[in-house]
Amino acid sequence: MKENIVYFDNSATSWPKPKEVLKSIKYFTNEIGGSPGRSGHRMSIEASRLVEETREVIGEFFNYDNTSRIVFTKNITEALNICIFSLLKPGDHVITSSTEHNSVMRPLRFLEKKGLIISIINCSPNGNINISDIEKNINNNTKMVILTNASNVIGTILPIDEVAKITYKHKIPFVIDCAQTAGEIPINVNLKKYKNCVITFTGHKSLLGPTGTGGMCIGEDVKLMPIIFGGTGSKSDKDVQPDFLPDYIESGTLNILGLAGLKAGVSYLLKIGLNNIRNHEKLLLSKFIEGASKIKNIIIYGSKDPDAQVALMSFNFKNINPSTAGLILDKKYSIMCRVGLHCNPNAHKVIGTFPGGTIRFSFSYFNSLEEIDYSINALSKMSKIK
């Protein structure tokens, strides 16, 4: 099956993974075993070592050497929830954008029912925000700004470095959702300087690790709380949660197999170099935009500028709906993609595709220009379906 697959669903999860990822998981399973931070024998110690090495690799990647403040979670949704439920309470004010994923909007809407006040900064149909709108909305009660680095529907890269400066000036925690950007573009927020920021990441997309991995790098001025309490392997004589990071937030046995894979995935990125990855993905995106723009009956959304967005593209046919298109792409052309609303109804409202949704192609370093050509040819044929 693998031979003929064209995988354009990397924004949902990346595939394939570098061979080193499976090798690392296999090595851990067969040779190390052990539960990190629990026992004192060599297998457990080696597992603890692997966890710390994974923190170091993540730290190198995000240019943040305070590994105690690099916390692992089961996915980025959990990391975002920890930030939201730690920093916001009824009556507080939060600023966010109109292209946020449900992993941000659903917890915010839940808290809104209990009295949270939400300001939503409207994005243009290209997915951009006006930075001055953020500063204008800050008041004495603003307890957090939370933004996606790039939406999973439109892909436009938001200027998080500028927002980091504004929020730092106002001493407001800034939580950055890097689900679609970590591993694809540089995250230009220096946490050593902007200590009010939190970079949240998923492990299984552009960081090339397995599902079940994610986490966050927490600036030193941000005080978070756990949403799960329990065993940490530390302060075991006390039945209250230890108050130091990362243990404070990392209760329960970590996903050590996942972290073994994540370490290998990020190490691979560091070896190849983010610039090389970004350049290749921009090339794929340019070629796709060029080809798809020429097809009658196709509408492309977003900036259409490879420099301004990550390597994903939402589009629609005028003659077939996204669901049918997804089925044909899979069954007839073996092109895997995601159609519909992408857990992000708000972004679809911004580009005017709610409730029907779009077809989304999302590329990775492992896609080729030949695959783009093949897909353009398929889309061209589909555009003629009556």
Of 17-25, 130-138, 233-241, 261-269: span binding another protein (CB under 8 A): 233-241
Q: Give min distance, CB of 275 to another protein, in A.
A: 29
Query: CA 40, CA 57: separation in Å to the nearest integer?
Result: 24
Q: Give min distance, CB of 65 to another protein, in A.
A: 10
Binding mask 16-55 vs another protein (x if CB under 8 A, - otherwise)?
Answer: --------------------xxxxxx--xx--xx-xx--x
Contacts with another protein in 127-186 (CB under 8 A)? none
Helix/strand/coil for 366:
coil
Q: Which of 19, 235, 294, 384 binds another protein (CB under 8 A)?
A: 235
Q: Give min distance, CB of 67 to another protein, in A.
A: 7
Identity of the residue, 159 or 242, whose beta carbon is nearer to another protein in the bound complex? 242
For residue 244, give the nearest of 261, 256, 227, 232 by alpha carbon.
232
Give yes or no for a contact between 95 and 138, defined as CB atoms under 8 angstroms apart. yes
Examine residue 68 and tell whether it contacts another protein (CB under 8 A).
Answer: yes
Q: Give min distance, CB of 169 to another protein, in A.
A: 27
Examine residue 237 and tell whether it contacts another protein (CB under 8 A).
Answer: yes
Give every CB contact of residue 236 below 8 A, 6+ residues apart in sequence. Answer: none
Size of the site for another protein (CB under 8 A): 25
Identity of the residue, 232 or 316, whose beta carbon is nearer to another protein in the bound complex? 232
Across 203-222, b (16+ Cβ under 10 Å) vs e yields bbbbbbbbbbbbbbbbbeeb
Give yes or no for a contact between 327 and 317, defined as CB atoms under 8 angstroms apart. no
How far does Cα 61 stand from its chain's mean position?
Answer: 15
Give yes or no for a contact between 17 and 367, defined as CB atoms under 8 angstroms apart. no
Identity of the residue, 55 or 360, whose beta carbon is nearer to another protein in the bound complex? 55
Q: Give min distance, CB of 270 to another protein, in A.
A: 19
Identity of the residue, 231 or 352, whose beta carbon is nearer to another protein in the bound complex? 231
Give yes or no for a contact between 159 and 150, defined as CB atoms under 8 angstroms apart. no
Query: CA 248, CA 240: separation in Å to the nearest integer?
Result: 10
Binding residues (CB under 8 A) for another protein: these are 36-41, 44-45, 48-49, 51-52, 55, 67-68, 232-237, 242, 244, 246-247
